[in-house]
Amino acid sequence: MADRDTPLINNLEDGPWPSYVKEIKRAAKKNAAAKDLLGVQELSFKDKITHWKHGGIVGVTGYGSGVIGRYVDVPEEFPAVEMFHTMRINMPSGWFYTTDALRKICDIWEKYGSGLTNFHGSTGDIILLGTDTKSLQPCFDELTEAGFDLGGSGSALRTPSACVGPARCEWACIDTLDICNNLTQEFQDEMHRPRWPYKFKIKVSGCPNDGVAAIARADFTIIGTWRDSLRIDQDEVRRYVKNGFDIKGIVTDKCPTKALAWDEKAQKLNLRADDCVRCMHCINKMCKAIRPGLDRGATILIGGKAPIIKGAYLSWVLVPFMKMEPPYDEAKELLHKIWEWWDENGRTRERVAELIERMGLKTFLRAVDLKPLPQMVYRPRANPYVFFD
């Protein structure tokens, strides 16, 4: 198909932001499926509807997940994308790569697929975008030879992800990359063989800034934090102030609990450590002077997810503080308890948060052997409908 046939999408080659249409065209030069994808895109732009159909079940031997089947609804017109499955390839923690590894993936995908990809899918996988059923197995075999494996899909554990953490961030309170990698390796079976009521996601952020949005989109949210006082270097504080930094306007006024006060006379930043809720703001604003404490671990939260079916959930505090040291047995045990309870009680397509809502947090806490704590709630109940037993 020649360029002149896609006037609508061609329009998107212009403009300052890098153009995905150009990218498809680059791939289209070498690959028929990529070329047909241009046509399908153009058709959708014209019709204003999608032209993809539900995927059937396709995959590689021994796996129940990692591949999303996809078929075009106008195969006569676009035979090269009659099948256009994606493969989800589990990225290394923190999305670090050697160029060697990347080039290997490119070469394999040039051989077996459309040559199009997402770096990365929004769960975190490398998305290899578009191939046919027969190419899946050989492509997979070569990928594993190159050291890569499939990620999750379907009613399984999904590919865990982690922020850059200790690799390049001074605020990481936990080793996000190691936790992510360790849990991923531990739960290969849970990821590759769907057997749960629905999907389950784990994400790891090194601090409450939550660089992988774990609280919004992970069923099991691990966020680094500390239990002692944050560390203040008063000399550095004074340096900030001397340089004209509006410490009151930018920092102390914005502390959510007003735990900080700048003593102008003593030229000292005072902290009521008990009232610090570790929001990160003062640290974010004065990273040379204020740093997280040293007694570090993670807050574990449960239940984050998108709106389908009962509405979106942000994760809820489950364990205010958990030490996070390899081999992370406490976290793993907790995961096993959660999965067991969910597997036993969950309905089809019921995420763990929805099940907790349906059966009650109390029931859930008992099932996973956790004590109720005020940190789990913003506030106690207002209604008098208490079940005593």
Partner 1 sequence: MGKSDIGPPSYKKMLPAVIEKNYGKWKYHEITKPGVLRHVSESGDEVWTVRAGSPRLVSIDFIRDICDIADKYCDGKLRFTSRSNVEFMTPKKENVEPIIAAVQKLGLPVGGTGKAISNIVHTQGWAHCHSAATDSSGLVKAIMDELYPYFTSMKLPAKLRVALACCINMCGAVHCSDIAIVGIHTKPPKVDNSKVSAVCEIPTTMASCPTGAIRKNPDPNVKGLVVNEEKCMYCGNCFTVCPAMPLADSTGDGVAIYVGGKVSNARHTPMFSRLAIPYLPNNPPRWPEAVNAIKNIVEVYAKHALPDERMGEWIDRVGWENFFKLTGIPFTEYHIDDFTHGIDTYRTTTQFRW
By CB under 6 A, name the binding residues for ligand SRM.
68, 70, 86, 88, 118, 120-125, 127, 151, 158-159, 163-164, 169-171, 199, 201, 209-211, 213, 217, 284, 305-308, 351
Which listed residue (311, 360, 372, 374) binds a second copy by CB under 8 A? 311
8 contact choice in a second copy, ligand SF4, partner 1, none (CB below 5 to 8 Å, kind-dependent): partner 1
- Candidates 121, 130, 127, 143; CA nearest to 58 is 130
- β-bridge mates for residue 202, sequence order: 220
Is 388 a residue that touches a second copy (CB under 8 A)? no
Nearer to a second copy (CB atom), residue 249 or residue 326: 249
Q: Is residue 71 a contact partner of residue 55, using CB atoms and an 8 Å limit?
A: yes
Is 216 a residue that touches ligand SF4 (CB under 6 A)? no
Nearer to partner 1 (CB atom), residue 116 or residue 338: 116
Considering the complex, what minimum distance in angstroms separates the CB of residue 58 from a second copy? 30
Is 312 a residue that touches partner 1 (CB under 8 A)? yes
Q: Is residue 174 a contact partner of residue 224, using CB atoms and an 8 Å limit?
A: yes
Is 2 a residue that touches partner 1 (CB under 8 A)? no
Which listed residue (51, 231, 281, 337) binds ligand SF4 by CB under 6 A? 281
Which listed residue (59, 166, 194, 197) binds partner 1 by CB under 8 A? 166
CA distance 123 to 157: 11
Q: Is residue 302 a contact partner of residue 312, using CB atoms and an 8 Å limit?
A: no
DSSP string, 217-249: H-SEEEEEEESSPPEE-HHHHHHHHHTT--III
CA distance 47 to 58: 28
Name residue, tokens 């249409």.
21
Nearer to partner 1 (CB atom), residue 266 or residue 378: 378
260 contact choice in partner 1, ligand SF4, a second copy, none (CB below 5 to 8 Å, kind-dependent): ligand SF4
Nearer to ligand SRM (CB atom), residue 207 or residue 241: 207
Structural tokens at position 163 = 């922020």
- β-bridge mates for residue 204, sequence order: 162, 222
Nearer to a second copy (CB atom), residue 67 or residue 251: 251
358 contact choice in ligand SF4, partner 1, a second copy, none (CB below 5 to 8 Å, kind-dependent): none
206 contact choice in a second copy, ligand SF4, partner 1, none (CB below 5 to 8 Å, kind-dependent): ligand SF4
Polymer length in residues for the chain: 389
CA distance 57 to 378: 43
Q: Element (H or E) spanning 294, and its range?
A: none
Compute and round to an integer the Cα radius of gyration of the chain. 25
Nearer to ligand SRM (CB atom), residue 4 or residue 243: 243
What's the angle, vertex CA 102, arms to CA 100 and CA 103, rounded to 5?
Answer: 65
Is 279 a residue that touches ligand SF4 (CB under 6 A)? yes
Could you tell me the maximum CA-CA distance found in the chain, to the nearest angstrom?
80
Is 374 a residue that touches partner 1 (CB under 8 A)? yes
